[in-house]
Structure 1
Amino acid sequence: MFLGIDIGTSGVKAVVIDDQGLVAGQGTAGITVSRPHDLWSEQSPDSWWQATEAAVRAIDPALRRSVRAIGLAGQMHGATLLDEQDRPLRPCILWNDGRSFAECAELEERVPALREISGNIAMPGFTAPKLLWVAKHEPEIFARTRTILLPKDFVRLQMTGERATDMSDAAGTIWLDTAARAWSPELLAACGLDTSHMPALYEGNEATGVLRASVAEAWGMGIVPVVGGGGDNAAGAVGVGVVRNGDALLSLGTSGVIFVANDRFSPNPAEAVHAFCHAIPDTWHQMAVHLSAASCIDWVARLTGVSGPAELFARAETVGPGGTDALFLPYLSGERTPHNDSRVRGAFLHLENDTDGPALARAVLEGVAFGLADGLRVLKNAGADVRELAVIGGGARSSYWGRIIAAALETPLVYLSGGEVGPALGAARLAQSHAERVSPAEICVRPHVSSRIEPDPEIAEKLARKRELFGKGYSHIKDF
C-alpha cells in the first residue's frame, strides 16, 4: 500500500492505493481560509498539520499498517515563513492572495532576466513577490525568517524533520532556474535571500526522508520513506498519467487549470502561461491557471440559497444552453491567465427583471467555461497541441458541467476512474515509483476511461455569441 496526502486550500485528502494503483481507502479533513483585508488570503500552517493527522487517522488502521511509502501534494506558491526553531512567524500567504501586485513590477525591474530564468511573468500569486511585500511591510518578521517552505513541505517538516521540496512546487516560487532545475542565486538575491533560506530540491519520486518514529507510532505505520511528491497540479497530472509530451488535463478544483506536459522547457510568459518543472525527472509542463473555478459554484450556491453543487447543477439544467442572456465574469479572486490581474473582480452583466436563481447558476457555469476557453487559446498560442483533456478534481463529478465546458472549449473531455481523487492519487503513485524502484512513466499510466464527452455542436453554437461577449467583458470592467 502507498499513501498520498494532498494539502489543499479547503481541506486535506489522504488516499491509500494498492499495488495495482487502485484506491483502497481515503480520509479527509477541512481547513478554513482567512481574508482579513481586501486582496488577502491566508491560512494557519498549524491547521494543515492538524487536518493531515485527522485525514490520515480516518483511514482504516489495517491499510495504514501496510503503507510502504508516502507522497505529498499540495496547494502551490504559499509563503510559509519559519524562524530558527521552525515555528511559523505569521499565517501563510496563499496562492490566491493578491496584495503583492506592486512588488511584482519591482521584482521584474530588479531582475530584467526574471522571465528568461524562471519562465514566468511575476504574479502576485507566486511566492517571490510575497517575500518582497513582507520585507517592506513586516520587516521584523522578514529579519527573523530562517526558512521559507511551501504548504505541503511544512507538513513534510512535521512528518520527517527535513526541509525539502520537489521541482514542480519549487518552480512555482519563481526562485527556480526552471530549465536547470536548481535555485537561482540571482532571483533569490533580488528578494534579500539566498539558498540557505530554501529547502533541498528533489524529484517527485525521490526520498526526502523517513517518517519520524513518533508520527509513525501515532499513525500506526512503519518508519517509511516520504518522497518529494508534487505541486497540486503536477501531482494531479501524475495521478491520471499526464506525463508524456502533449498529454493534457483540466483540473476543476477551487481554481481551474489546463495542464500540458512537455519534454522540454517551453516558456511563454507574454500571455501569462505558466512554465514549470513536472513532478517527474526531465519533464516540464505549461499551465493556464484560473483563480476561480469550482469556488464560483460554491459561491453562487450560497448566493442563491441552494444546498450545494448538485442542486445548483440541477437548477441550471432547467435553463438550457443559451437560455439566459446573463453573463458572468468569474474573477472572484482576480485572474492569472491570460490577464495577470490580481485586482479585477467578478461581475454579472446583462441582468433583467426576470433573471432568477437558475439563470444565475447557468451563467456561472458558462462563465467559468469561457474563462477556461481563454486559457486554452493562449496555450495554443504557446504551441500546445491539445487534442483532448483528462478531467480531474471535484468539478469532474458533473457531466452536465462537462458538456458546457467541452462545447465552450471545442475540445473532447475524458473522465478517468479515480480522477475525482486528484493530486493525492498522484502523490501516492510517486511513492509507489520510489518503493518499487520503477520509473514514474511506468507507474503513472492512464486510468480506465469511465466516460467521454465530445463537444456538442448545438450547444457550441448557442454559446458562441456569449463567448464573444465574454471576450470583451474584461476590458469593460478591468479599470472599475
Structure 2
Amino acid sequence: MYLGLDLGTSGVKALLIDETQAIVASASGALTVSRPHPGWSEQDADWWIAATREALDRLKSDHATALAAVRGIGLSGQMHGATVLGADDRPLRPAILWNDTRSHRQAALLDADPRFRKITGNIVFPGFTAPKLAWLRDHEPGLFERVRKVLLPKDYLRLWLTGAHFSEMSDAAGTAWLDVENRRWSDDLLAATGLDAAHMPALVEGTERCGTLRAGLAAEWGMGADVIVAGGAGDNAASACGMGAVRVGDAFVSLGTSGVLFAANERYLPNPESAVHTFCHALPAAWHQMGVILSATDSLNWLAGITGRPAGDLSAELGDALQAPGSVSFLPYLSGERTPHNDAAIRGAFCGLGHESDRTALTRAVMEGVAFALRDNLEALKEAGTRLERVTAIGGGSRSIYWLKAIATALGLPVDLPADGDFGAAFGAARLGLIAAEGADPLAVCTAPATAATVEPDAALAGAYADGYARYRALYPAIGGVR
C-alpha cells in the first residue's frame, strides 16, 4: 500500500492506493483560514498536523489493515506558504499562505532586481515565499532575527512525520529562491532577503526518498517500520503526476480554490514577462509552465455566501445548455491576480448590472469570468512558446458541465473528463510514494487515466464568447485605478 497526503487550503486529504494503483480508501480533515486583515491569509501550522491526524485516524478506524501495509508515503501541498521556525523547530508565527498579498511592495522591490527573473525564470509574485520573508524582515524584525528554518507547508508536515528538513524541486521553484534551470538554491537570491543556505531545507527530486516515518507515528497508526517518505510535490505538480501530465504536450485545467492552466515541458522555457510560472516538475529533468488565477471556485463560493445558496445549487440553476455571455461581466480578482496581470491590489467587480440581473445572471457571469481569466492564461502560455491541443479538467469545479462548456468555448479547446476516479494531488502524491519506495520508473507509474467524455467548444457560440472575452479584457484597465 502507498499513502498520499495532500495538504490543501481547506483540508488535508489522505488517500491509499495498492500496488496496482487502485484507490483503496480516502479520508480528510478540515482546515480553516484566518484573515486578520484585508489581503492577509494565514494558517497555524499545528492545524495542519491536527487535520492530518484527523484524516489518518479515520483511515485507521475504517481501513486499519490497509494502513498497516503502507510502504511509501508521498506528500503534496499548497505552495508558497512561509512557515518560519525557531531553533526548536517550532513555528514562530502563523504561516503566511499562497493567497496572501501583504508583501506586494516587497515583491515589487525584489522583482526590480534583475537577478530574480534571470535565475528563477519567474516574476516575483506577492504570493511567493521570498517576499513574505522580506515583509517579516521589514515589519516583524525581532521575529525575523529568530528564524532558523523556512519550510513550505507540506515540508513542515514532512518534518513532523520524519524529523528531517527537506523540500523538493517543484515546490521550491515557487519560493523565488530556486535556480530553476539548475535545480538548486541560489545563494544570491537568499542573501537578497537576508537569508542563507542554512535557513533552507535540503533539496531532493519528488521521486526520491528523504526519510522514514518516525517510529512513534508508525505505531500510532499501526504501520510497520521503515515506511519511506518521498520528496513529493507542490499541489499542481502532484496533480499532474496524478493525471499523467508528465510528458511534453500534456496539459490540464484545474478548477479548485484557485484556477490553473498547466502544461508539461521537457526543458526549461522561461518567459517571466508573460506572468506564466516556469517551475520544475516533480519528476527529474522535467519542467512545467502554468498560468494561475487566484479565485476560481473561490469566486463561486463567494457568490454562494452572498446569496445564501450552496454553490452546487447555483450551478444547477443554469442547467447544462450553454448560453451566450450575458450583459453582466465579472472580474474574478477577489484576492488580486497573477497571470497575466501580476496585480496584488486589483479587486473583483461586476459590471453591466441592471434591474433584470437576477441570481442566475450573476452565476453565469462568475463562471464566464473565470473562463475568460483562464483564456488570459492560455494567451500567456502562447506568448511563452507553449501551444496546447486539448486539456483535461480536474478539481471540484469540473463537476459543473455548464462551467466546462464555458471553458471549452472560451479556450477554443476540447476539455477531456477523466474516467471515474480520484486523480488529483493526493493520488499523485501516492504515486510518488510508490516510486520512491519501490524504485519504480516514474513514466511507467504516472500514466494518464482513460477519458470518460470530452466537452467540445460550442462552435455556434464561439463568436459570442470572443465578444464576451474582448469586453472582459477591456474592463481590467477600466478598473485598474480603483483600489
Normalising by the smaller structure, the TM-score range is: over 0.9
**Aligned amino acid, residue 85 of structure 2:** L
Shift of 1:471: 0.7
Per-residue CA deviation, residues 127-150 of structure 1 (Å, 9 max, x unaligned), is 001100000000011000000000
Inter-partner Cα distance in structure 2 for 1:413 and 1:299: 25
Question: In the alignment, is the contact (CA less than 8 A) between 2:4 and 2:75 conserved in 1?
Answer: yes
User: Displaced runs of 4+ in structure 1, greater than 4 A?
Assistant: 418-421
**Which shows bigger deviation, 284-293 or 14-23?**
14-23
SS of residue in 2 equivalent to 1:4: strand
Q: Letter of the 2:388 partner, please give it.
A: V
2:316 to 299, 311, 314: 314
2:191 corresponds to = 189
Which amino acid counterpart does residue 152 of structure 1 have in structure 2? K
Q: Alignment partner for residue 72 of structure 1, among 55, 67, 75? A: 75
Q: What is the total number of aligned residue pairs between the two structures? A: 478
Equivalent pair of 2:77/2:234 in contact (CA under 8 Å)? yes
The equivalent of 1:18 in structure 2 is 18
The structural deviation recorded for 1:399 is: 2.1
Note the alpha carbon deviations across 1:246-294, whole angstroms, 9 max, x for none: 2111111100001111111111100101001000000001110100101
User: Which residue number in structure 2 is paired with residue 453 of structure 1?
Assistant: 455
SS across alignment from 2:247: coil
Query: Does the aligned pair in 1 maintain the 2:43–2:95 contact within 8 Å?
Result: yes
Question: CA contact under 8 A between 1:317 and 1:362: conserved in structure 2?
Answer: no
Structure 2 CA distance for aligned equivalents of residues 65 and 271 of structure 1: 47
Which of 330-339 and 382-391 deviates more?
382-391
Counterpart in 2 of 1:244?
247
Secondary structure of the 2:229 match is strand
- Could you tell me which residue of structure 1 aligns to residue 304 of structure 2? 301
Spell out, residue by residue over 1:403-447, the C-alpha distance to the aligned partner (whole angstroms, 9 max, x if none): 111011111111113665510010000111122211211100011
Q: 1:386 matched to which residue of 2? A: 388
1:38-53 alignment, distance < 5 Å: 38-53=38-53
1:222-237 equivalent positions in 2, closer than 5 A: 222-223=224-225, 224-237=227-240
Change (3 A) 1:346 1:319: farther
Give me the whole-angstrom Cα distance separating, in 1, the residues matched to 2:219 and 2:320.
Answer: 53
Give 1:52-63 correspondences, 5 Å limit: 52-59=52-59, 60-63=63-66
Pick aligned residue for 1:358 from 347, 357, 360: 360
TM-score (norm 1): 0.97
Find the counterpart in structure 2 of residue 403 from structure 1. 405
Describe the shift of the 1:291–1:240 C-alpha distance in structure 2 as closer, same or farther (beyond 3 A).
same
Whether the 8 Å CA contact 2:321–2:402 is kept in 1: the answer is no
Residues 207/318 of structure 1: CA separation in 2 closer, same or farther (3 Å cut) = closer
Within the candidate set 332, 338, 341, 1:339 is matched to: 341
SS in 1 for 2:279: strand
| 1:334 shift after superposition | 0.4
The CA distance in 2 between the partners of 1:250 and 1:420, in whole Å, is 15
SS at structure 2 position matched to 1:113: helix
Give 1:465 deviation, angstroms.
1.7
SS for the counterpart of 2:361 is helix
The 1-side partners of 2:318 and 2:364 are apart by 5
Which of 376, 389, 398 is the equivalent residue of 2:378?
376
Cα RMSD over matched residues?
Answer: 1.3
- How big is the shift at 1:243? 0.4
Partners of 1:422 and 1:20 in 2: CA distance: 17
Matched position secondary structure for 2:288: strand
Contact map agreement 1:15 1:23 (CA 8 A) in 2:
yes
Q: Deviation at 1:222? A: 1.7
- Structure 1 segment 96-115 matched on structure 2, within 5 A: 96-109=99-112, 111-115=113-117
Query: 8 Å contact 1:397–1:420 — kept in the other structure?
Result: no
CA contact (8 A) 1:393 1:421 kept: no
- 2:87 corresponds to 1:84: yes
The answer (yes or no) to whether the contact 2:320–2:401 under 8 Å persists in 1 is no
Q: How does 1:265-280 map to 2 (within 5 A)?
A: 265-280=268-283
Question: Aligned equivalents of 1:77 and 1:25: distance in 2?
Answer: 29
The CA distance in 2 between the partners of 1:439 and 1:13, in whole Å, is 25
* Structure 2 CA distance for aligned equivalents of residues 285 and 366 of structure 1: 26
Q: 1:382, 1:430 → 2: CA distance? A: 28
Equivalent residue, structure 2, for 1:221:
223
Q: What is the CA-CA distance between 1:320 and the residue it aligns to?
A: 5.0
Change (3 A) 1:444 1:335: same
What's the TM-score, normalizing by structure 2? 0.97
C-alpha distance in structure 2 between counterparts of 1:76 and 1:320, whole Å: 34
Q: Render the CA deviation track for 1:301-338: whole Å, top value 9, x for unaligned.
A: 111221x2221111133895126311110001100000
**What's the CA shift string for 1:69-115, capped at 9, x where partnerless?**
00000000000000000111011010011111111122134x32210
Whole-angstrom distance in 2 between the partners of 1:70 and 1:48: 16
Describe the superposition over 1:330-373 as per-residue Cα deviations: whole angstroms up to 9, x where unpaired.
00110000000011001000000011111111110111000000
Could you list the runs of 5+ residues in structure 1 that have no partner in the other structure?
Answer: none
Q: Secondary structure at the match of 1:322?
A: coil
Identity %: 51
Query: Which blocks of at least 5 consecutive residues in structure 2 are unaligned?
Result: none
* Among candidates 413, 416, 422, match of residue 415 of structure 2: 413
* CA deviation after TM superposition for structure 1 residue 53, in Å: 0.9
Provide the residue aligned with 1:172 in structure 2: 174
CA distance 1:323–1:183, change in 2 (3 Å): closer
